[in-house]
Amino acid sequence: MILVWIIALLLIGGLLSWFAAQWNKHLAKWIALGCTVAGLILVSWLCMHYKDAAPAGSTWFIDYKTNWIPAFGIGFHLALDGLSLVLLLLTFFLGTLAVLCSWTEIKEKQGFYFFNLLWTLAGICGVFVAMDLFLFYFFWEVMLVPMYFLISIWGDTNRRYASYKFFIFTQAGGLLMLLSILALYFIHAQQTGIYSFDYFDLLHTAPEAATAKWIMMGFLIAFIIKLPVVPFHNWLPDAHSEAPTAGSLILAGLLLKTGAYGIIRFVITLFPQQAQEIAWWAMLFAAIGIIYGAFLAFAQTDLKRLIAYTSVSHMGFVLLGVFAFNEIAMQGVVLQIITHGISTGALFVMAGALKERLHTRDINQMGGLWAAMPTMGGVALVFTMASLGLPVLGNFIAEFLVLIGAFSANATLTVIATLGLIFSAFYALRMMQKVFFGPAKPVSPIKDMSAREMLMMAALTISIIVLGLFPQPVMDVVRGVVQNLVAMKK
């Protein structure tokens, strides 16, 4: 039941802040903040509670099921395991920061803005816990539409183009996924006579090999568009660079992760056999994505676009690790999902803060900012280093585990992927140098970080360092899930 409350909290909070803004526009952000913080506390409590209390024989902590549309076999089925739990925690952590970084940036239609923000978060939470495929699809759409509004209303100059592109790409993938869900639904009904969208029912469906492959591709394409994998990544740079700061934060930190989650939860569990057959191709595309994203990131002059392309590169590690099919790589994937959310989120927050001060995203217009804002420079350095995989920071553990795990699965492709570490240094240091080093450009005096920004950055910095030094608790929480996933390889 608590899962329902968590999602309801966001949905109701969203509506409340929309209405509240009619009388007092400042109320909206306080309500939004209250909701996300409350959610964060709830999920943290869940973490504490289930940290070392995995129920015997099962990896599921919570399983809540009630009828929704019984005629079609649609249930309201939410469940929580270690993977969902850490993703929920990430969602509320970044959600809270998203509210905070909109604090002064959003000046118009605040009510509707926070409504959209909270509803996107609700959709994301739903995606992470829905165990009914129809419900999953429902949440998948719930996170998409408000995000579309966030980009198209509060975005930057080219926002219409970016929001259409985002919508069309995601929707095209979503459509394929819907077809696959329906196919699976009917095949299941044919085989057993029971119409059900329930994840656990469908797990035991065994379509013919050829059919299964096509159904899997439907899911896979939806998820790799979201992840994204080259060549389906083109919605991402536009959406990330045009979205308001909170939008970029949620896109990079959370929405991409729903793609990763989908692959783990659906593609390789529903179709273990078929997934292994395409493993080589998936790893190839992963390696290509890592290098290609890094090359493009290096070329960009728009700060947010640059960071966006680094996401393309980093998400390649997720794909690589998932299809390596071993425990080490899979643990790396989970950590990569979390640490990339934090580090890239932080970079976007920083880019947003710079934009608020300098009114530009062009790194050629920046330079020598360290002198004026050493604190932000220091924080930027931390996350630049996280981006290029410096040990001590969480991203290193993630990438290290992915690569060392993937190496035993496919050495050649892993070596190509590892070259990404070199190219990541190229773009990361170029960014650092263009923005913070070099001769100072004559700009009007700019302020270093405010207390609110310091708070956000401190939270992000501490978490990335803690994850880098003490990643074991996270790995313990998801161990059961990961071991089950790997055990599917027969």
Partner 1 sequence: MHQYLYLIPALPLLGFLILSLAGRHLSRSVIAWVGAGSVCTAALITMGLGIGFLQTPPANGVYTQLLWNWFSVNRLSVSVSLSVDALSLIFIFIITFVGALIHIYSTAFMQNDRDYARFFASMNLFVCSMLILVMADNLVLLYLGWEGVGLCSYLLIGFWYETPANCHAANKAFFITRIGDTAMAVGLFFLFKEIGTLQIPQILIEVPQHFANGANNGTLIAILLLAGGIGKSAQLPLQTWLPDAMAGPSPVSALIHAATMVTAGVYLIARLHVLFEFSPLAMSIIAVIGALTLFMAGCSAMVQTDIKRILAYSTISQIGYMFLALGIGAWSAAIFHFFTHAFFKALLFLAAGAVIESLHHEHNIFKMGGLKNSMRTVFLTFLAGAASLAALPLVTAGFFSKDPILWYAWSAENGNAFLWLLAIAGAFITAFYSTRLMLVVFWGEMKTQITERPGKRMVLPLIILAVIAVAGGFIEWPHNLMHLTLFSEQVQKVLPAVVLKENLPSEFIFQGIAVLVTLGGVYMAYVLYYQEKVTLEKWRQSPAMLSIRNFLLHGWAFDELYDTVFVQPFLFITRINKKDIFDQLYNGIAQLNVTLSRLLSITQNGSLRWYIAGVLIGILFIITMQLL
Sites of contact with partner 1 (CB under 8 A): 165, 230-231, 233-234, 237, 295-296, 298-300, 326-328, 331, 368, 370-371, 374, 378, 381, 385, 390-392, 396-397, 400-401, 403-404, 407-408, 411, 414-415, 418-419, 421-422, 425-426, 429-430, 433, 436-440, 469-472, 475
The residues near 319 (Cβ < 8 Å, ≥ 6 apart) are 224, 227, 229, 263, 282, 283, 285, 286, 289
Backbone phi and psi for residue 231, each to the nearest 5 degrees, phi listed first: -100, 25
Least distance from partner 1 to the Cβ atom of residue 467, Å: 10
- Closer to partner 1 at the Cβ: 358 or 403? 403
49 or 441: CB nearest partner 1: 441
Cβ 172 to partner 1 shortest distance, Å = 11
Under a CB-based contact definition with an 8 Å cutoff, are residues 29 and 118 in contact?
no
* Neighbour count for residue 113 (Cβ, 10 Å): 29
Give the nearest distance from C-beta 306 to partner 1 in angstroms.
11
Contact 232, 220 (CB under 8 A): no
Structure tokens that stand for 351 in this block: 């880019």
C-alpha 152/C-alpha 146 separation (Å) is 10
Nearer residue to partner 1 within complex by CB, 156 or 327? 327
Q: What's the closest the beta carbon of residue 421 comes to partner 1, in angstroms? A: 5
Closest distance between partner 1 and the C-beta of residue 429, in Å?
A: 5
Task: Report d(CA 10, CA 121) in Å as an integer.
Answer: 7
**Dihedral sign, CA of 252, 223, 263, 41?**
positive
Tell me how far apart the alpha carbons of residues 339 and 464 are, in angstroms, rounded to a whole number: 7
Cβ within 8 Å of residue 422, ≥6 positions away = none
**How near is the Cβ of 38 to partner 1 at its closest, in Å?**
31
412: tokens are 């050649």
Least Å distance between CB 400 and partner 1? Answer: 7
| Residue 47 neighbours by CB distance under 10 Å | 17
Nearer to partner 1 by C-beta: 103 or 164?
164
Which residues are paired to 76 by β-bridges? 66
Cβ count within 10 A of residue 299: 11
Kindly tell me which of 270 and 401 has the beta carbon lying closer to partner 1.
Answer: 401
Residue type, 484: N
Q: CB 252 → partner 1: shortest distance, Å?
A: 18
Helices (H), 271-393: 272-277, 279-299, 303-322, 327-358, 369-372, 374-387
Residue 231 preceded by cis peptide, ω within 30:
yes
Nearer to partner 1, 116 or 331 (CB): 331
| Contact of 171 with 206, CB cutoff 8 Å | no
**Residue nearer to partner 1 on the CB measure, 61 or 396:** 396
Which residues lie closer than 8 Å to 455 by C-beta, 6 or more apart? 100
Query: Which of 48, 440 has the CB closer to partner 1?
Result: 440
Minimum Å gap between C-beta 346 and partner 1 is: 17
Could you tell me the smallest distance in angstroms from the CB atom of residue 476 to partner 1? 10
Separation of alpha carbons 289 and 311, rounded Å: 10
Of 245 and 463, the one with the shorter C-beta distance to partner 1 is 463
What 3-state DSSP class applies to 444?
coil
Strands 74-81 and 60-69: antiparallel
Which residue matches tokens 């239609």? 109
Nearer to partner 1, 70 or 157 (CB): 157
Cβ 468 to partner 1 shortest distance, Å: 9
CB of 280 to partner 1, least distance (A): 18
Three-state SS at 74: strand
For partner 1, give the closer residue by CB, 139 or 298: 298
Measured from the CB atom, the residue of 39 and 420 that comes closer to partner 1 is: 420
Q: Which of 120, 231, 226 is nearest to 169 (CA)?
A: 226
CB of 332 closer than 8 Å to CB of 317: yes
